[in-house]
Amino acid sequence: MHKLNVLVAGSTGYIGIQLVNLLIKHKKVNIKYLCGNSSVGKNISIYDKNLENKKLPKIIRFNYKLLDEVDIIFTALPNGEAQKISKKLLKKNTLIDLAADFRLEKASDYLKWYKKKHKAVNLIKKSIYSLPEISGKKIKKYQIISCPGCYPTSILLPLIPLIQKNLIKKGNVIIDSKSGYSGAGRSIHKKYKNKNLYESLSAYGIGFHRHNSEIEQILNKYIKGKFEFTFTPHLSPMFRGILSTIYVDLNKGKTVNNLYNGLIKFYKNSNFVKIAKLNSLVSTNNVINTNNCEISVCKSKNKNKAIILSSIDNLIKGGAGQAVQNMNILQNFKEYESLR
């Protein structure tokens, strides 16, 4: 059986390790190369004991000659690096990026939010922002696939159907998200060395977190005017998982039941989006180590408001799992291959 040859660049980060763990279970994938910098020459199992005794290549430094030997390039690299690789792609290659290099449609927005000039401006229009449940098979037209950020994934999956069906108002939406510290990468321990990551809860990026731009860009596609929201992320004393609590105002004549039924209908054929019973209290524990997003619609003490809970594993549905899901759709594999 012919297998896809894949390369994972940034293979030793939290997302990269998770990606390797998913890909080694994939029946139609051969992990051809694992790339890193400080880890060159080492076995990836030193970063994850689950990968011991697996037939995996040693870590090498990325070079463009490798593109001739692979079909899919997964990039879990610092922002800006995938843009460099994108300019060297061969016709046979597909780039699936897990960073922010192609999430924004305007180079000016990328400069504004990421403080860097975009290195592949002419390729932005040739890329697609792919939340699989929303973009579906459209990705087959593109050579560059941009995977959404972890926070936006937990936020957009519940909000897009509700906005599309005009069930909620387009203003005064409050989004309170809490993430495990793995979402900040391995450097988190240096960045927050004066904070007790394991016993404290910290707000950060208030008002100006980079994911604001991504959330706004996507939601504005579904309304006339501008979608107004306040997003505040928090770092939680847990390794993985995201729980987003979203407060919305109902449109006139709409009820919490309308929201619940709208989500049930929208995701009735979804492999990975699970709508919990009305007023259920979901937790990250329900989704850890899965590619699922669990959503619950809850009543508020205010008749014209609703509270939506959305939970994902930031390293899988918010990262590596979503990337594999995109690859599966692109290649006409079963969407859930290696994700169950």
Q: Which residues are catalytic?
A: 150
Q: Tokens for 262? A: 């709208």
Q: What is the DSSP string of 37-53?
A: STTTTS-GGGT-GGGTT
Taking the C-alpha atoms of residue 274 and residue 329, their distance in angstroms, rounded to an integer, is 19
Q: Are 311 and 153 in contact (CB under 8 A)?
A: no
Taking the C-alpha atoms of residue 312 and residue 314, their distance in angstroms, rounded to an integer, is 6
Own/partner long-range contacts of 101-108 (Cβ < 8 Å, ≥24 apart) = 101/75, 101/146, 102/127, 102/129, 102/144, 102/146, 103/129, 103/146, 103/148, 103/149, 103/214, 104/213, 104/214, 104/217, 105/129, 105/217
